[in-house]
Amino acid sequence: MSERPKFFEQVNRHFDRAAALLDLPRGILSQIKECNAVYHVSFPLRRDDGEVEVIHGWRAHHSQHRLPVKGGMRLTKHASEDEVTALAALMTYKCALVDIPFGGAKGAIRIEKDDYSERELERIIRRYTYELVRRNCIGPGVDVPGPDMGVGAQEIAWMSDTYLSLSQGEVSAQGAVTGKPLSQGGVRGRVEATGRGVYFGLREAVSRKADMEPLGLSAGLDGKRVVIQGFGNVGYHAAKFMAEDGAVIVGILEREGAAYRADGFSADEVYRHREEGGSLLDLDADEKIEGGKEGAHGLTWDCDILIPAALESVIRKDNAPDIQAKILGEGANGPTTADADEILRERGVLVIPDMFLNAGGVTVSYFEWIKNLSNIRFGRMEQRFEAMANHRILRAVEELTGQSFNDGIFEKLAVGADEEDLVNSGLEETMVSGYEQMREMSILHDTDLRRAGMAVAIGKVARAYQERGIFP
Ligand code: NAD
């Protein structure tokens, strides 16, 4: 397998291709491309056995054209300055493309999560958060971390609690971190948001007959065969929502190996099985591969849609020629190297880029941040009012027509939207309109979606700088 290319360089290669479509001065393009700041912290951890170990962490602020900056936190043994910088840049373009008013950031702590006890993890996360507070690198108007690989509601709750304990009565302090548990100011729908967004994005991509015909596919998700790499937060939820809309999850790839079944897996059953300590390799399947190096196993299996939802740079020039999928839906950040992207384009594979497809997470994080700033649950003011208004409309129709509706109709229609309905509707609107903007640009310039989406994003960031009078 070829060596991992520098990740930030890969993102910048995409940037340069897209910038060539735009008539923007070189100065503004250079400003957008650079990373504004990267913080590297190191601190000692006393392990449960008394040994002391030095822990390294990073936080990158790629673009502060809008504040706060926003981006996930990950715990991985591969964490590096290059990785957080590249991921922070992707966040800038992602937020701009789907109209989330944040700059891009990303953070990471270099640890293999499974090697630490829960108490050790808590100490690591709290100390990292404290280091960010000391540098004014976290806060609802400064930088708002969220979940990413290896970081779920528990780690976010530790970050939020540490920030709250140091914030001295700041009224919107809960908005310093997103992805919190509901009881700590989280929002309904955040956990599954990225996977649900992947589903909305792919549903849009396959919805037009004219776009599917060149791939030899019919329009719609029904019956589409899907292979997913990474069955964590993003992969599992994407699989679940895709299957609920008729797609067949034929292949699942995880650390321990990969399993393929032509008649499809139940996402929920596989997820439960693994949660209980089971492996993909003991599932009933047509084909299995034991875990190989860096998740390459199974990526070339026959399918209509391949969704990498684990690591970056897993599709490279050595395996890109063998990818059989007709559509590549990038659930993970940066799963495809620039060389591999070129090969896939030449081969006519439709690539739905990460900067659009996994934007559901930051979209719902934005909703959570708004909720924390306004200190009120979405729907609290309107839900009952809407339900009563709908009830009155149904009664008026009954009076006008002389016909009575049954209780079932009232139960279905005389309701108001609750927080989850509003969040999911806002997410769907964001993904549909983001896809539309990217597709229109791709038609205008007769180019691929990645280049088009990046061009839309760069144009918006440039406008933000120009409107502030920084550049002509
Ligand atoms: P996660 O930790 O919940 O899941 C990642 C999964 O990938 C795990 O189940 C892990 O075992 C698996 N994995 C790790 N190495 C693998 C390998 N070599 N082969 C196959 N599987 C492997 O992380 P996540 O939050 O689902 O993030 C996955 C990707 O999605 C990352 O690139 C992340 O940056 C991106 N993303 C996540 C979010 C979010 O809201 N969580 C938002 C946007 C983008």
Question: pLDDT digits over 130-149, tens only?
Answer: 999 999 999 999 999 999 99
Mean pLDDT of 164-174: 93
Considering only CA atoms, which of 69, 100, 68 is closest in space to residue 85? 69
- Judged by DSSP in three states, 92 sits in helix
pLDDT range class, residue 5, cuts 50, 70, 90: low
Active-site residue flag, 240: no
- Judged by DSSP in three states, 288 sits in strand
pLDDT tops 70 at residue 294: no
Task: Output b/e per residue, 270-302; b: 16+ Cβ within 10 A.
Answer: bbebbeeeebbeebebeebbebeeebbbbbbbe
pLDDT at res. 2: 46
For ligand 1, whether the C-beta of 125 sits within 6 Å is: no
Q: Write down the domain spans for the chain.
A: 37-186, 193-357
Query: In this structure, are residues 187 and 147 in contact, taking their beta carbons and an 8 Å threshold?
Result: no
| Topology at the third CATH level for domain 37-186 | Rossmann fold (3.40.50)
Q: Tens of pLDDT along 91-101?
A: 999 999 999 99
Structure tokens belonging to residue 75: 């715990």
Nearest-CA residue for ligand 1 atom 8 is 232
Ligand 1 atom at minimal distance to the Cα of residue 365: 40
Residue 296 to residue 318: CA distance in whole angstroms: 10
Q: What is the CA radius of gyration of the chain?
A: 23
| Topology at the third CATH level for domain 193-357 | Rossmann fold (3.40.50)
pLDDT at res. 469: 78
Selected catalytic residue, list 70, 106, 224, 240: 106
* H helical segments located in 142-251: 153-166, 193-205, 209-212, 233-244
Fold match flag (37-186 vs 193-357): yes
pLDDT range class, residue 76, cuts 50, 70, 90: very high
pLDDT at res. 34: 95
Ligand 1 atom at minimal distance to the Cα of residue 234: 26
pLDDT tops 60 at residue 413: yes
Report CA(281)–ligand 1 centroid distance (Å). 19
